[in-house]
Amino acid sequence: MPEIRQNLITREWVIVATERAKKPEEFVQKNKEKKEIPGYVPTCPFCPGNEDKTPGEVCRIGSTGKDWKVRVVPNKFAALSREGDCKRRIEGIKRSINGKGIHEVLVETPIHNMTTALLPVEQVRCIIEVYKNCFLAAYKDKCVEHVVIFKNHGEGAGTSLEHPHSQIIATPVVPSQVRERMEEAIRYFDDTGDCVFCRTLKEELEDGDRIIWEGKSFVAFIPYAALSAFHTWIFPKRHAASFGSITPEEMNDLAITLKTVMAKFYYGLDNPDFNYVIRSLPLEEDEEECYHWYLTVVPRLSKVAGFELGSGMFINTALPEESAKFLRETKLPF
């Protein structure tokens, strides 16, 4: 019998399609076209030596010239503009606001063909620290209402640029999805006195079936109602509503956890395309009792189709417990 599961945090229903379920091994990207990517591409704007192709560097870790570890630059094809005001217009059904905001790119490494799974932990730590700096800096703009930090890896995940990079987008509105989830979290808190995220983490740890990896300060697991195959959540153990309050020790552990999860994907599923994103409130709302920041990872192993687009429900052809066991048992070479 198939099972329909509800994600308590997002209220999304997911059909866990047991009748058409695949084994974890069937998701291995063996047939994916493998192309040899060189470590340095002279025409790549993110490769060292081409710093002048990305003018207006926002910040960097490392020294001057082409000797850097991480760089942040404005997105050349920015979706939002730093200039102007955040004027709203309401005219009948037409509601809009000027596209004022921030759209930056974080170049994660000088090496063109690198990937999170293979980076040294120190470099991942360095990326996370820059995420934090960018996150805090973005909210200083008084037009900014919400900041999203994310990474697209591979064409199937929506990127055409090979060089490893993340993006920061700061918008002058709070997305309605973020607002709706906040309302659900408040309702859960009203009903139980608990943070729904803390409660989820506690039960997942007790249960154990869906845990991929437990670090000192972070836990990676497949949600009970995972939207798609190998959809993964990384939760901080300490209750905090904002990524902006992450401590130096927590950054060390997040680096280890993120690299480990990425390596589980890389070695276990043969380098699938993926997106990851940090979901967080601003630092000033860090003490919010009912919200909890986290990182979500979505390997792109299947396609969203008409049913998902037309209902907001999902069909997952992988059993979360089996996927978690597979990743838990995936051996890493380090």
As a whole number of angstroms, the distance between CA 244 and CA 235 comes to 14
12 part of the interface to a copy of itself, by CB under 8 A: yes
Kindly determine how many residues on this chain lie close enough to bind a copy of itself according to the rule CB under 8 A: 77
Instruction: Give the N- to C-terminal CA distance of the chain in Å, as an integer.
Output: 40
124 part of the interface to a copy of itself, by CB under 8 A: no
224 part of the interface to a copy of itself, by CB under 8 A: yes
| Identity of the residue, 117 or 168, whose beta carbon is nearer to a copy of itself in the bound complex | 168
Question: Taking the complex as a whole, how short is the minimal distance between the CB of residue 200 and a copy of itself, in angstroms?
Answer: 5
Interface with a copy of itself by CB under 8 A: which range of 42-50, 132-140, 235-243, 307-315?
307-315
93 part of the interface to a copy of itself, by CB under 8 A: yes
Q: Dihedral through CA 148, CA 158, CA 7, CA 288, nearest 10? A: 0
As a whole number of angstroms, the distance between CA 326 and CA 191 comes to 36
245 part of the interface to a copy of itself, by CB under 8 A: no
Query: 136-169 burial string, b = 16+ CB within 10 Å, else e?
Result: bbbbebebbbbbbbbbbbbebbebeebbbbbbbb
Q: Which of residues 48-77 bind a copy of itself (CB under 8 A)?
A: 77
Say how many C-beta atoms besides its own lie within 10 A of residue 186's C-beta: 15
- Binding residue (CB under 8 A) for a copy of itself from 71, 146, 163, 259: 146
Please give the order of strands across the beta sheet that includes 211-214. Answer: 59-62, 68-74, 102-107, 165-171, 146-153, 274-279, 294-299, 232-236, 218-221, 211-214
159 part of the interface to a copy of itself, by CB under 8 A: yes
- Binding residue (CB under 8 A) for a copy of itself from 38, 39, 84, 120: 84
What would the two tokens of residue 142 be?
A: 């008084």
Q: Are 232 and 221 in contact (CB under 8 A)?
A: yes
What would the two tokens of residue 121 be?
A: 């932990």
- Binding residue (CB under 8 A) for a copy of itself from 62, 156, 205, 267: 156
315 part of the interface to a copy of itself, by CB under 8 A: yes
- Binding residue (CB under 8 A) for a copy of itself from 25, 26, 177, 332: 177
Question: Taking the complex as a whole, how short is the minimal distance between the CB of residue 113 and a copy of itself, in angstroms?
Answer: 20
5 part of the interface to a copy of itself, by CB under 8 A: yes
- 168: helix, coil or strand? strand
| Identity of the residue, 3 or 67, whose beta carbon is nearer to a copy of itself in the bound complex | 3
- Binding residue (CB under 8 A) for a copy of itself from 25, 32, 66, 96: 96
- Binding residue (CB under 8 A) for a copy of itself from 38, 49, 120, 158: 158
313 part of the interface to a copy of itself, by CB under 8 A: yes
Q: Which of residues 279-298 bind a copy of itself (CB under 8 A)?
A: 279, 296, 298
What single-letter amino acid sits at 220? A
The residues with which 299 forms a beta bridge, in sequence order, are: 274
Residue with tokens 């308590």: 8
165 given a catalytic annotation:
yes
What would the two tokens of residue 191 be?
A: 């009903």
Q: Which of residues 250-279 bind a copy of itself (CB under 8 A)?
A: 275-279
| Identity of the residue, 49 or 84, whose beta carbon is nearer to a copy of itself in the bound complex | 84
Q: Are 107 and 165 in contact (CB under 8 A)?
A: yes
Question: Taking the complex as a whole, how short is the minimal distance between the CB of residue 169 and a copy of itself, in angstroms?
Answer: 6
As a whole number of angstroms, the distance between CA 152 and CA 140 comes to 26
43 part of the interface to a copy of itself, by CB under 8 A: no
Eight-class DSSP state of 225: T
| Identity of the residue, 71 or 300, whose beta carbon is nearer to a copy of itself in the bound complex | 300
| Cβ-based neighbours of 297, under 8 Å, separated by 6 or more | 231, 232, 233, 234, 261, 265, 274, 275, 276
Task: Point out the catalytic residue in the list 103, 146, 153, 165.
Answer: 165
Question: What amino acid positions are annotated as catalytic residues?
Answer: 165
